[in-house]
Amino acid sequence: MDKIYEPTQNYRLVKAEELLDVVQEKKNDGKRLLQMFVTHVYGAYEAIYIFDEGDYKIECIVTYVEDDETLASVSDFYPYACYYEKEAVELYGVKINTGDSFNKLYHIAEETPYVSRFDIR
């Protein structure tokens, strides 16, 4: 191959209230959202947003919200993010105002099945 891109990755912790500003900056810079997912850790939700920084580099934006708090939706900037957010809401029970037009993505019998199974203490 003529050119090999060295994959590198950064982790950045941001406050939940600053999340939208950071994501808007990423969108303005033309970065691609690879995925978003949550885990229930130490009594709070840890949300990780992975962005493609170009040239095959990635950056992980990590934020935390309390159980009763609502995580801001980034689907205004990345329309397809609502699929990841719906997965987080329906499987993990985090509160996000996904704000899209269809109600349920996952047809499963148990509601929010991963809340207790992924609880890291």
Partner 1 sequence: MFPDSILDNEVAMSKTSIIPFGPQHPVLPEPIHLDLEIEDEKVIRAIPSIGFVHRGLESLVRKKDYNEMVYIVERTCGICSFMHGMGYCEAVENLMEVKVPKRAKFLRTMWSEMSRVHSHLLWLGLFADAFGFEALFYQAWRYREKVLDLFEMSTGGRCIFSVNKVGGVVRDVPEDMLKHFKQVFTDLKKDVKVIGDTFLKDKTVNMRLRGVGVLTKEQILDMGAVGPFARGSGITHDLRMTGYDAYPELSFEPIFETDGDNYARTKVRIMEIYQSIDLICEVIDKMPTGPVSIPVKGNPDGEYAMRLEQPRGEAVYFVKGNGTKYLDRFRLRTPTFANIPAMVESLKGAELSDVPLYIHSIDPCISCTER
Applying CB under 8 A, the residues found at the interface with partner 1 are 1, 3-7, 9, 11, 32-35, 37, 39, 41, 48, 50, 56, 58, 60, 78-80, 83, 90, 102, 104-108, 113-114, 117-118, 120
Q: CB of residue 33 vs partner 1: minimum separation in angstroms?
A: 6
Q: Closer CB to partner 1, residue 11 or residue 25?
A: 11
Residue 62 CA to residue 5 CA, distance in Å, equals 24
**Cβ partners under 8 Å of residue 10, min gap 6:** 57, 58, 59, 60
Q: Closer CB to partner 1, residue 17 or residue 56?
A: 56
Residue 22 CA to residue 44 CA, distance in Å, equals 21
User: In angstroms, what CA-CA distances link 70 with 2, 18, 66, 88, 93?
Assistant: 47, 13, 8, 12, 11
Q: Is 65 helix (H, G, I), strand (E, B) or coil?
A: strand
Q: CB of residue 87 vs partner 1: minimum separation in angstroms?
A: 8
Cβ(53)–Cβ(60) below 8 Å = no
Q: Closer CB to partner 1, residue 38 or residue 72?
A: 38
Q: CB of residue 72 vs partner 1: minimum separation in angstroms?
A: 19
Q: CB of residue 30 vs partner 1: minimum separation in angstroms?
A: 8
